[in-house]
Structure formats: structure tokens, C-alpha cells
Amino acid sequence: MAAPDAAAQAAGSFREPGAWTSTEMADAAPYDMAMSDDTEVDSRVSDPEPAPVAAQPQEPPYVDKAAVLGKVFFDTPDGPRACSGTAVTDPRHPGASSLVWTAGHCVHSGRTGTWYRNIVFVPSYNNEALSRVSSADRGSRRISPLGVWWADRASVSPGWAREGEASGGAGAPFDYAVLHVRLVGGPDTSLEQTIGYAIPVALDAPAIPSIPTLKVWGYPAEAPFGGNLLFSCQDRPTRLSLASDEPTLYRIGCTMTGGASGGGWFRAEADGTLELISDTSVGPTDARWLAGPRLGAEARKMLDEIGAVAPS
């Protein structure tokens, strides 16, 4: 059977899902795209592997300093899964964005052409950093202080739709997605207005060697982490090339595990303003480092097109 046309598969629309309970969120398995140590890399371009950097927990409450960061929940043919995501600005709707950036593999299966369903974003998930989340917290503002936002449409890069695989790194240079979301059971307001701000997406970031440091965020869920707490790693980025004919990825040392996929990679501009330049795509099975795609023309087109769709 021929693979689905990538361009046709790169955008999807969805109906409002049934309610996700706090227990279902807590039980959703982490979704990652692990690379085995025998995965081939282009050593002519790739830098030496970075030393591991221990992930650091974010101090609660998350709404104070990390409100744009959250968890993405979705249903797959194999059951409910969880990733990480970031509220980002919408060039077509300044100050009123309802866009969320995450990894392509957290939304769409890649070359097999399956869109995942019942996708929601919870900014500042588990705001008070509870070690355990139970049914007693259902609907609690401790878990979803800024509400639960459902994705009515999504876009992945055509490169991910064409090449993406569930494991092994295939499609990683194109592993990004953007969601347009609406507040579940709430007024017709934007995500950016609710949070108070959103992070701009950098589509013209400088070359990797000229970036002094990046900070990467996520909700790692595989051992030794539990998926309920927000963590970050900070390191100088290096280059990872999986194929000579594909874009080079950013790579940093980081011990975050599955569940951190889709989490934002932030760069600080000279004036201190943060911008998102990537998202977590792949890492080794033993969590020594993370890698994410460089964003360019395809990402720019995705942001423009998803913001241009008239609300239904």
C-alpha cells in the first residue's frame, strides 16, 4: 500500500473530546521516540555527544514563572498517552493566540498517516507540584489552574507526515506540530489572554555553534520520573545529524525521559526575551541527551496557515 500523501496528511481537524479526568491524565503513559545506541548518525557533521545534564525541578506554583508550559494528552490506538507542550504566539492574532507547540509524534503517527484523537493541552499542569494526582483532584485548579484546552485542529510538518516513525529517529528533523485549542466548557477566549502571555517561535535562529545556551522544559514520566512534575535542563547546544541530506538537529545533555517529548526549547535574546527555537523529539533509551529539530520555512508556513483558518 502506498504511503499517504504528506501534504494532504499534514493538517487535521477534530471534534471536542469527552472530558479527561485527573486520574486519566495521571495514568496516561509517556510517549517518546527513543533511539537505540546503534542508530546511525552522520559523524562528519555531528558534534561529540554532550555530557549528561541532570534535570532540575521547577519550583511551584508553576503559574508564577512557567505558565505557558504544560502537558499534552491524547488517545492513540494503543491507549492514552502524554507529552509536553508550550503556548506560543500567533502571527495572525497578536495578543490573542490559541496555539500550542509540541512534537509531531505527539499528534500524528508519521508516514502511516494516523491522527491521534481527543487531544488536550493543560497549561501549568499540576500547578502545586503534587507528588501524586488522584481522583480526589478531579477538576481541581491545583491540576488545571488555567483550564483544559482541546485541539480543534492541528498541523504537522509535511516532513514528519512523510518520514516519521514511532521509534528510531526517522523524521526527527521534522518532528514538530502546532495545535489550535479552545477552552473546554468555558468562554470563547484565547489561550494567550488566559495565561497572560505566550512565547514567540523563532524561525530564523542563528547557527547552532553561535548559541551559548538553551533551556529545555518538559514533564518526564519514565523512571526515575513520575510525569507529574515539571523539569528543565540547561546546556550549550551541539549538532546532531542523522542523515547528510536532512536538516541538522539541536542536541543538549539532559536526563529527562519519555513524556518530555514536545517540550519547548528556549533561547534568550539579548534583551532577555525568550523565544522557542525547537521541541524535544528524540533521545537515547538511557536518557543521556535530548535532540530537537531546527525550525524554518515549513514551520513558518504551518504557523501562518493554522492561524488563517476561520473559527467554525
Question: What is the mean predicted confidence (pLDDT) over 268-272?
Answer: 82
For residue 3, is pLDDT > 60? no
Q: With respect to residue 183, please indicate whether it lies within any of the assigned structural domains.
A: yes
For residue 138, is pLDDT > 60? no
Q: With respect to residue 1, please indicate whether it lies within any of the assigned structural domains.
A: no
Domain that residue 58 falls in: 6-19+39-308
For residue 296, is pLDDT > 70? yes
Question: What is the mean predicted confidence (pLDDT) over 130-139?
Answer: 68
**Residue 279 is part of a domain; what is its CATH number?**
2.40.10.10
Total number of domains in the chain: 1
Helix (H) or strand (E) holding 40: none
Higher-confidence residue: 122 or 142? 122
Please name the amino acid found at residue 123: P
User: Residue 100 carries which DSSP code?
Assistant: E
Full DSSP string of 240-271: E-S-TTSPPEEEEE----TT-TT-EEEEE-TT
pLDDT for position 141:
80
Q: With respect to residue 24, please indicate whether it lies within any of the assigned structural domains.
A: no
Q: With respect to residue 233, please indicate whether it lies within any of the assigned structural domains.
A: yes
Q: With respect to residue 32, please indicate whether it lies within any of the assigned structural domains.
A: no
Q: With respect to residue 34, please indicate whether it lies within any of the assigned structural domains.
A: no
User: CA geometry: angle at 52 spanning 275 and 284, to 5°?
Assistant: 90
